[in-house]
Amino acid sequence: MILTTTNSIDGFTIAEYRGIVSGTSVNMQKMKMTFNMQKYYAGISESVSDVKDQAFEQLKANAMKLNANAVVGIHVDIELTNSNYVVVTTTGTAVSIIKR
């Protein structure tokens, strides 16, 4: 599965647009406040990375349900809520591509 933020893929032609797909993930454990800001920011960074990976896996799974082999025009939205939860949403267009 090819994933890209661009609207086209070099060397491939979009044969069919399958639909808009998304993936959303939220970290299940609340970020702990600490007096050590370096640990706090390291924790947020690790949490964002993990949650982003989960959101992309969900995006790919939803694209596969539409028989797509690529997702183009991906937009990633990362939010840290007031309650210190990390929310990542990925959205893109599922497409079928063929080699030129």
Q: How confident is the model over 34-85, as pLDDT tens digits?
A: 667 777 777 777 778 889 999 999 999 999 999 999 999 999 999 988 777 8
In which residue are the tokens 């399958």 written?
A: 18
Contact predicate 93/19, CB 8 Å: yes
- Tokens (6 digits) for 81: 């809520």
- Model pTM? 0.83
- Dist CA 75 CA 6 (whole Å): 10
- Tokens (6 digits) for 76: 């990633």
